[in-house]
């Protein structure tokens, strides 16, 4: 997949299969960056009554991954090797729309490094992530 294909996905609705399940979509992308948005709700709650950390991690991982995809050639693919997520503020069903923005820090022939942030509509930082991804020939 390339930047052009990513932008085509956005134009067609931008929802990957995991986005259907968790209610988020790819909303924007450019050379080395990507953004996803979603609205966390009670269906995403953990037993403590807040949105499960996996919701934030999934959006952040998706933003990191698609940011790398925008830098790949047609015959390349990627997969996450490592994701470190830091949670700064809990989300609930009243948080509203959240946005995960990922950007490529460095990309080589085999490995890419990315960072991402998750913010609410007021721009408050909810979570951050750094990721290492394997770049593969398709």
Residue 129: which residues within 8 A CB-CB, separation 6 or more? Answer: 57, 60, 61, 64, 83, 84, 85, 86, 102, 115, 116, 117, 118
pLDDT for the residue numbered 13 = 86
pLDDT for the residue numbered 28 = 95
pLDDT for the residue numbered 15 = 85
pTM of the model: 0.95
Domain boundaries along the sequence of the chain:
3-137
- The whole-angstrom separation of Cα 52 and Cα 54 is 5
pLDDT-flagged residues of the chain (< 70): 138
Residue 45 has what DSSP assignment? B
CA triple 113-32-110, angle to 5 deg: 40
pLDDT for the residue numbered 109 = 94
Residue 4: which residues within 8 A CB-CB, separation 6 or more? Answer: none
pLDDT for the residue numbered 16 = 85
**Is 3.40.190.290 the CATH classification of the domain at 3-137?**
no
pLDDT for the residue numbered 117 = 98
pLDDT for the residue numbered 138 = 64
């Amino acid at each position: 997949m390339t930047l052009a294909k990513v932008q085509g996905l956005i134009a067609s609705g931008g929802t990957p299969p995991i986005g259907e399940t968790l209610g988020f979509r790819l909303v924007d992308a450019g050379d080395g960056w990507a953004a996803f948005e979603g609205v966390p709700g009670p269906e995403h709650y953990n037993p403590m009554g807040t949105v499960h950390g996996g919701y934030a991690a999934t959006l952040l991982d998706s933003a990191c991954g698609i940011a790398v995809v925008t830098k790949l050639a047609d015959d390349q693919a990627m997969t996450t090797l490592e994701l470190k997520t830091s949670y700064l503020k809990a989300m609930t069903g009243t948080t509203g729309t959240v946005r995960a923005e990922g950007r490529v820090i460095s990309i080589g022939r085999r490995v890419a490094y990315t960072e991402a942030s998750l913010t609410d509509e007021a721009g408050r930082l909810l979570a951050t992530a750094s990721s290492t991804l394997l770049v593969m020939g398709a």
